[in-house]
Amino acid sequence: MNAADITPSIFDNSGLAAIKRQARSNDPAALKAAAQQFEALFLQMVLKSMRDATPKEGLFDSDQTRLYEALLDQQLSQVLAAKGGTGLAKIIESQLSRDAEPGGKAEPSPVTNGFIDKMMPHAAAASRASGIPAQFIVAQAALETGWGRAEPRGADGQPSHNIFGIKAGSNWTGPTAEATTTEYVDGVAQKRTERFRAYGSYAEAFKDYANLIAGNPRYAAVLGARDPVAFAQGMARAGYATDPAYADKLTRIINTLPA
């Protein structure tokens, strides 16, 4: 079930539970549904305040009518939020989307700026070797490691310098580092311990990334990409990552970086 198709009734506990489950995966459609629920709650409070301010007397003033009015207001708030409401949902959705990203900030933080400054010279070299814009490469490194904070480390605690999440396959003869990663199987997130390539420096990591992308035919479609969406979707289609929201996440990070 797609969260974008859910406009849950106030009686539909299963629909609300579905939104909560999907929101944990940071799926954009689930974030949109969650934002609509926030706005629906706000609208419900507004309607309740209006009801409370209205004088009540006569035949239709009873506990039963007040109950049905409350139920009506709850359902009306859901419908209004689903149709755009006050626009509050769009603001909330935008904030949730930013918070879902590694680094999760609307404005560049010292952590993200430091990461960009540190990696950009290596990305420029990888860009010359692969033809991929340097900011696209930095964005992918940021996504894979949470702006450098989740880099795999060796058994001795030393950094692997692997900031692209490149696994150590059967053909890899160099050093390795093990780390727990999230993989998606049929859209379901699973935690796994995987072996990753380890490098002696970030320069080596960027060089290996450029060789991998430029030398593997399945990435041929992204080599000439200059549009963030086309690049991100091309990497996702080529199977670089199993996360179904990978393209959206990568696009959002690219759009925060200077060209």
**pLDDT tens digits for range 73-82:** 777 777 776 7
Structure tokens at 13: 């506990």
Residue 61 is a catalytic residue: no
pLDDT at 205 exceeding the cut of 60:
yes
**pLDDT tens digits for range 16-73:** 555 555 455 455 666 677 667 767 776 677 777 766 666 666 666 676 676 767 777 7
Q: Of 133, 135, 142, which Cα lies nearest the Cα of 111?
A: 142
Bridge partners for 194 per DSSP = 179
- Total residues found in the chain within this entry: 259
Please state which CATH class domain 110-254 belongs to: mainly alpha
Bridge partners for 167 per DSSP = 196
Q: What is the DSSP string of 4-25?
A: GG----TT-HHHHHHHHHHHTT
Predicted model pTM: 0.60
* pLDDT value of position 104: 44
Greatest Cα pair distance, the chain, in angstroms, is: 85
Residue 183 is a catalytic residue: yes
* pLDDT top residue among 110 and 168: 168
List where CATH 1.10.530.10 sits in the chain: 110-254
Query: Which residue among the candidates 183, 186, 204, 248 is catalytic per the annotation?
Result: 183
Contact 204, 161 (CB under 8 A): yes
Query: Which residue among the candidates 208, 227, 243, 248 is catalytic per the annotation?
Result: 208
* pLDDT value of position 7: 43
Distance CA 164, CA 144 (A): 6
Contact 88, 39 (CB under 8 A): yes
pLDDT at 107 exceeding the cut of 90:
no
Neighbours of 161 (CB within 10 A): 22
- Residue 196: which H helix or E strand, with range? strand 188-197
pLDDT band at 11, cuts 50/70/90? very low
